[in-house]
Structure 1
């Protein structure tokens, strides 16, 4: 079985408070984009896990795909599998690539071995693997709250917009990003703002991490400015960084020139 775990972008991201368990509560709109990894899972006589593409830090045993398999194996008699993950989505970019890999592993194992788990059950497993893993089970736009794992459906379509995602090759860890954040309540009503035209979002719909990270990594601010200069109607950092994206009304944005080591993805939403 072959599938393609996709990334997500954050439309606004507000860190509202620090929790007693050390995590943070947030409010954000998660929106899927089709910058994808590739994941193949096949029944096998022995357990095998292979990674290609972008290098992934850590051992195979720490990979979320393998953790997802082990998690389901605790409750179900899963046979050995051969998993091959080809990594394309950059890590430390705020795009949720690792979380998508984990959620897609759960989805694929559920289908491959006819476990008959519904979406709620899959989301509960996914929450044990990471804060935003559960989003990728249903993979639809939502307003996420608490740790990013409690969802409210949102009627939002960016169909027809072109999304350009710029990754400057900077790996920002979650600990680094949250270490300099000051939780506060959002200054806008996200539910109301998302109902407005995208052009209204400029300077209103914000990512709290920009305030903390732009001074430290000026290339992120520069990338956002270039996206606006090229005609984006809205641009923002996604997640806790370091990728920055722009939304365009045209399939062919204006001239975008970035250093060769930057990774760029462009696609219709």
Structure 2
């Protein structure tokens, strides 16, 4: 069985407080986008091993045991006795981009195993398992636009449809570590609810919706901030960094003409 784990973008991201456990409570809008990996899981031919794992596309620089797809398999195997499985991941979603590519792979693996082996695991239980893989993994179980709070694991469905807009996504060859991103943010409660602001016309978003990571990340990496300005100069009605970076996206009413650096990953598609 094959599935296509998709990426997400963050439309707005407020860091509202630091938790006693060292994590941070957030407010953000998760929106799924059609930039996808491909993930396949089938019964093992030789049946001699719990699993085999292979990877094409963007190289996954980790041993199989550390891959989130295998971690998802192991979570399921704790309760359900699965047969030996062959797993193949074709990776197209860039790493370290704030796009949730790894989280999507893990969550889609849970869904794939549930369907392929007819485990009949309820969606709420799948979401609980997904949170054990990563904070935003639960979003990809339902995979629909959501207002997220907590560490990104508390999801509230929203009515948001951006069909018809062109989405441009640019990722420079820059890595922004999680400690660096959070080190430049001073948490503070939101004055206005992002869940309500998102109802404004998209042309007004740039005046009301912000990503708290942008200020310090742009200061440390001016090239990322320049990409956002370049997208506005190209006619974007709204542009923002996704997550803690380093990718930046923009929504356009018409297909944009972009002249980005050849070293940048560039993806444009009509939603």
TM-score range, shorter chain: over 0.9
The worse-fitting range, judged by mean Cα deviation, of 49-58 and 17-26 is 49-58
- Distance of 1:186 and 1:58 partners within structure 2: 38
Residue of structure 2 aligned with 1:66, choices 56, 66, 70: 70
- Distance of 2:171 and 2:113 partners within structure 1: 31
Alpha carbons 1:91, 1:171 under 8 Å: kept? no
Q: What is aligned with 1:258?
A: 260
Matches within 5 A, 1:16-55: 16-44=16-44, 45=47, 46=49, 47-55=51-59
Encode CA deviations 1:101-159: one digit per residue, 9 max, x unaligned: 00000000000100001211110100000000000001000000000000111111111
- Distance of 1:188 and 1:210 partners within structure 2: 19
Q: TM-score, normalised by structure 1?
A: 0.97
Matches within 5 A, 1:200-239: 200-239=204-243
Q: What is aligned with 1:77?
A: 81
Encode CA deviations 1:204-248: one digit per residue, 9 max, x unaligned: 200000011001111111100110011100000001110000001
Alpha carbons 1:31, 1:140 under 8 Å: kept? yes
Alpha carbons 1:188, 1:204 under 8 Å: kept? no
Alpha carbons 1:50, 1:84 under 8 Å: kept? yes
Q: What is aligned with 1:193?
A: 197
Matches within 5 A, 1:81-160: 81-160=85-164
Instruction: After TM superposition, give the deviation of residue 172 of structure 1 in Å.
Output: 1.9
Segments of 5+ residues of structure 2 without an aligned counterpart are none
Q: TM-score, normalised by structure 2?
A: 0.96
- Distance of 2:196 and 2:130 partners within structure 1: 29
Alpha carbons 1:188, 1:205 under 8 Å: kept? no
Runs of 4+ in 1 over 3 A off after TM superposition: none
Q: What is aligned with 1:245?
A: 249
Give the CA RMSD over aligned residues.
1.0
